[in-house]
Amino acid sequence: MKIQFNTDKNIEGHERLEKFFSSELEKELARFDDKVTRIEVHLGDENSDKGGVNDKRCMIEARPAKMQPIAVTAHADSIEKAFFQATEKIKKVLNTTFDKQAVR
């Protein structure tokens, strides 16, 4: 499973974040390693330098083999919170998707 990160220009320290978030994703999604070919993470600050409530966004897109991509989005007041919320969402969606496939 390949992990790719994309950040907007308002996210600082993206190299450090990328390394940490990659290891977290590998750990959290290890169960799907043979079923998902790629994970794309998009991090952004929706209102740039201005402050705001829940203005940090994390969108995670999973690309399961031989299936349509699956994407989830989370907003929070920090990139870390948005990332962990999105990680939980994608994990639940992938669990549901592959559990349904197993029933067939």
Instruction: Show me where the domains of the chain are located.
Output: 2-103
64-90 pLDDT tens trace: 998 999 999 999 998 899 999 999 999
Residue type, position 9, single letter: K
pLDDT at 55: 84
What are the residue ranges in the chain where pLDDT is below 70? 13-14, 48-52, 103-104
Give residue for tokens 């992938």: 94
Residue 25 CB: number of other CB atoms within 10 A?
A: 22
What is the CATH T-level fold of the domain 2-103, as seen in this structure?
Double Stranded RNA Binding Domain (3.30.160)
Distance set, CA 88 to CA 10, 66, 74, 95, 99 (Å): 24, 23, 10, 11, 16
pLDDT at 50: 67
> What span, in angstroms and rounded, lies between the C-alpha atoms of 99 and 104?
9
* DSSP letter for each residue of 14-55: HHHHHHHHHHHHHHHTGGGTTTEEEEEEEEEETTTTS--TT-
